Structure 1
Amino acid sequence: MTGRLKLVALLVALALVAGGGLVALWSQRDEERPVTILGPWTDTQETQFEEVLRGLGVPFDYQGTAAQREVLLSQVQSGEPPDIAIMPGVGELAEYADQGRLEPLNGLYDETQYGAPWSSGRTSEHVYWVPVKADLKSIVWYRKGNEPTGGPAPLESWCIGMGDDGASGWPGSDWIEDLVLQRSGPRAYSAWALGREKWTDKPVLSAWEAWGKLLKQNERAAERAVLTDHRGHPDRNGLLFAGWEDGCTLEHQGSFATAFYGAQEAGLTDSAGLLPGGPYEVRAHEVTGDFAALFSDRPRARELIGRLASRDGQRAWAAHANVFSANNAVPAKAGEVGTAIAKRLTGEDGKPRCLDASDVMAPAVRDAFYEATLLTAARTAERSDLDIPDLLRDLQRVQDAQPPTRAGLKRVCG
């Protein structure tokens, strides 16, 4: 045997003898790695979130991006998903759960602190996601001193921006969703969101037609809505105070607009009385959340998500400005605006809460929904004919092509 072969044989023998030790060593190194987290928060909120994470006492590596859907898909397809992903909706998470990619969260936090509809991620056996940030929709912001008196507002009064970095059109979907909810109620809304009611049925058709009539009031305002970013342009500091030449005074927007409008600048009210075709009674409040899910069964990752969802973790996160929690053990924020949002988010006002319908839908349906709202506004701006029933038939065909989801998504309102 040559010297080289003797050396190889010796190394192989050593590897076989020490194999168990090597496996244990690499396993230990794996557990010592920081927990990788993919989330939607960048800039100031990224700094705030990382401060909260440091307080949880678990080493982490956070990646914030406005394109988390695309980034997560790329990481999953490459076989290197993050330990924890935080997504603005549960439709995609349900697909990952159906593919067997998510780890159950059972026993990691007190589930009684999250009632319906936030507990939508529970199947008969497991829970797969938990909201770590919540926001209220079904509200309208107004300039202080210009409080709406009630009754449908004309298009010129509305500040509307349909643009977004990676999901343009979702502000239009919020209009449609709110109209379905306030006109037809939570039961019809839930059936539609879960694909049990057709897009072409009356609740959605009549809501879409009401929104189309609003846009037709002013083609120029409809065009501006298509071309404007929902955060304002060019400074992205909201739409109410952007100095628009027509002086819009109302914005149909979620509670995350507190990042733009402080309590001294703007107030909020329920949207039902101001929507086209109304006024309607407040049937329910639409809510949305950022939901955390486990793609890894590493003990450190399980520990971190449990601490983040706990009462103390949520209190620390909600202590920051513009952050609201779905955890019912977290005290409401102080101030007129914060209190008003918290009462509606927690159901303290006695009204049901319903998850954002497009967030619940399968990604392909959600994206088609966004595109359809953009198309409606663009065609209106061009004074082109738009067959709304035909548009909704196209959306129904996308819906019909989706496989049924099995993981959660049994309840949208509660």
Structure 2
Amino acid sequence: MRRNHVSKTPRRWIAPIAAVSIVGFALAGCSGGPGTGGGGESGDAESNVVTVYGTISDTEAELLEQSWADWEKANNIDIKYEASKEFEAQIAVRAQGGNAPDIAIFPQPGLMADMAKLGYLKPAPDAVKKNVEDGWNEDWANYATVDGTLYGAPLMASVKGWIWYSPSVFAEKGYEVPTDWQGLLDLTAKMKADSGNAPWCIGFGSDAATGWPGTDWIEDLVLRQSGTEVYDKWVSNEIPFTDPQIASAFDEFGKIAKNPEYVNAGFGGVDTIVTTPFGDPATALVNGTCSLHHQASFYDGFITDAGGKVAEDGDIWAFLMPPFDATSGSGGSVVTGGGEIVAAFSDSEATQKVQEYLSSADWANSRVKLGGVISANKGLDPANASSDILKQAITILQADDTTFRFDASDLMPSAVGSGTFWKGMVDWVNGTDTAAVLEQIEAGWPSS
């Protein structure tokens, strides 16, 4: 999904039904578990057909299929890909009903972990384990690991926290890229004063997944303001949403998102944030009605589709959200990011061969050459990326001094990460008191 880097559907799709599905899994586990209806029944374990299910759709799905087409022919394996906007809810239903795909491309490690803990997924075969050891650092491997067992491998990736802007406007007005969070707030105030217009455009709209762009803001701010230790403990609920350190991130975001002087450029006021589709600000950036927008590296595709050239000397460029305090940190980039984990419900020979290929540097380079996406695979050549911003993102992911953390809501249990957290962002930006919202989000955490 393009929240991470692909199609013009969001990075993750889920509604309250997904939480119901997970509860249903737990009940099924109490009455005998997954049984024999798990992976592999949607494809013939004895044939060369391997079914793959994911969220990647539209043009990006076509490119995905193109990326493995030559390998299919060479290995006499037919990969049948199916995209769904309701992946998070339907993967639960299908696994429980014995109609799981051979392979699933999970946009959320937390959801993959749910499936693994309930016994639906197969541990990664040895060839995949080796590819993961060779191609990814320990943090990325951990995102595919549940209770000490590796179940999958990372696929594509994105770097989040980019602030998109017009280089020509910055040059004309003498604006400089800020070096800390207060500098970004000061820049916002200066832009408002100079033009009389709201500088920022924000869109939370994403059908059943409305609210996710707001979670990205909070994650970026928690990591930059409070550091990795707090971020990691927040992900595991050792630090709850109601903690003052998390509340502070909401307060800081509110200085922009809840200020009618600063939003919502090209769309209206604060009340339009929830109803503005997350892809629409790309057009506002290109036509000049919006000056600043926060979104991941995948957004360069949206800007290109809107008619803009993404380049340092082009129509639109981007800088990373600055550190909270310019004097702190190691000097390297501090970023959040996302991606997918490929895991299998089947352990057929053909399925394992597909898993091995998708976890290889060969596949990563094949897909990245086709444009629009990146990978954190260490065997990926940044020169294969289709744009300068994507090349920069790959360089950041591969740098030894980068502080990287996976999207927190994707790591949390789906009832929270794609449930109460998304809904909480909607309620919060629509005016609900921060303390009440944080209590509501925290209430989504499973009791055990």
Give the TM-score taking structure 1 as reference length: 0.81
Amino acid at match of 2:230: A
- Deviation of 1:38 after TM superposition, in Å, equals 0.4
Match of 1:374 in 2: 426
Match of 2:56 in 1: 41
Among 349, 373, 379, the alignment partner of 1:299 is 349
**What is the Cα-based RMSD across aligned positions, in Å?**
2.3
SS at match of 2:124: coil
Distance of aligned partners of 1:314 and 1:122 in 2 relative to their CA distance in 1, 3 Å threshold: same
Match of 1:130 in 2: 153
- Deviation of 1:88 after TM superposition, in Å, equals 1.1
Alpha carbons 1:167, 1:370 under 8 Å: kept: yes
Match of 1:231 in 2: 279
Q: 2-side partners of 1:69 and 1:256: how far apart?
A: 21
Q: 2-side partners of 1:99 and 1:302: how far apart?
A: 21
- Deviation of 1:35 after TM superposition, in Å, equals 0.3
Distance of aligned partners of 1:84 and 1:168 in 2 relative to their CA distance in 1, 3 Å threshold: same
Q: 1-side partners of 2:443 and 2:115: how far apart?
A: 23
- Deviation of 1:194 after TM superposition, in Å, equals 1.6
Give the TM-score taking structure 2 as reference length: 0.75
Match of 1:240 in 2: 285
Alpha carbons 1:238, 1:257 under 8 Å: kept: no
- Deviation of 1:253 after TM superposition, in Å, equals 0.2
Do residues 393 (structure 1) and 435 (structure 2) align? no
In structure 2, list runs of 5 or more residues that go unmatched: 1-40, 193-197, 304-309
Amino acid at match of 1:253: Q
Deviates more, 1:119-128 or 1:79-88: 119-128
Among 291, 298, 301, the alignment partner of 1:249 is 291
Alpha carbons 2:113, 2:146 under 8 Å: kept: no
Among 216, 237, 244, the alignment partner of 2:258 is 216
Q: 1-side partners of 2:95 and 2:413: how far apart?
A: 18
1:275-286 to 2 correspondence within 5 Å? 284-286=334-336
Amino acid at match of 1:330: L
Q: 1-side partners of 2:98 and 2:48: how far apart?
A: 17
Amino acid at match of 1:72: I
Q: 1-side partners of 2:298 and 2:259: how far apart?
A: 28
Alignment: residue pair count: 360
Distance of aligned partners of 1:146 and 1:51 in 2 relative to their CA distance in 1, 3 Å threshold: same
Among 141, 151, 155, the alignment partner of 1:119 is 141
Do residues 266 (structure 1) and 316 (structure 2) align? yes
Match of 2:405 in 1: 354
Q: 2-side partners of 1:298 and 1:265: how far apart?
A: 49
- Deviation of 1:206 after TM superposition, in Å, equals 0.6
Q: 2-side partners of 1:29 and 1:224: how far apart?
A: 48
Q: 2-side partners of 1:356 and 1:221: how far apart?
A: 28
Alpha carbons 1:142, 1:249 under 8 Å: kept: yes
Alpha carbons 1:230, 1:238 under 8 Å: kept: no
Amino acid at match of 2:424: A
1:178-197 to 2 correspondence within 5 Å? 178-197=220-239
Distance of aligned partners of 1:252 and 1:377 in 2 relative to their CA distance in 1, 3 Å threshold: same
SS at match of 2:100: coil
Amino acid at match of 1:304: V
Amino acid at match of 2:319: T
- Deviation of 1:281 after TM superposition, in Å, equals 5.7
SS at match of 2:209: coil
Q: 1-side partners of 2:219 and 2:343: how far apart?
A: 25
Do residues 318 (structure 1) and 368 (structure 2) align? yes
Q: 1-side partners of 2:155 and 2:110: how far apart?
A: 16
Amino acid at match of 1:117: D
- Deviation of 1:86 after TM superposition, in Å, equals 0.4
Do residues 74 (structure 1) and 93 (structure 2) align? yes
Distance of aligned partners of 1:340 and 1:41 in 2 relative to their CA distance in 1, 3 Å threshold: same
In structure 1, list runs of 5 or more residues that go unmatched: 1-25, 380-385, 404-414
Distance of aligned partners of 1:375 and 1:83 in 2 relative to their CA distance in 1, 3 Å threshold: same
SS at match of 1:166: helix
Distance of aligned partners of 1:398 and 1:146 in 2 relative to their CA distance in 1, 3 Å threshold: same
Distance of aligned partners of 1:280 and 1:390 in 2 relative to their CA distance in 1, 3 Å threshold: farther
SS at match of 2:229: helix
Alpha carbons 1:256, 1:322 under 8 Å: kept: yes
Alpha carbons 1:185, 1:284 under 8 Å: kept: no
Amino acid at match of 2:239: E
Match of 2:38 in 1: none
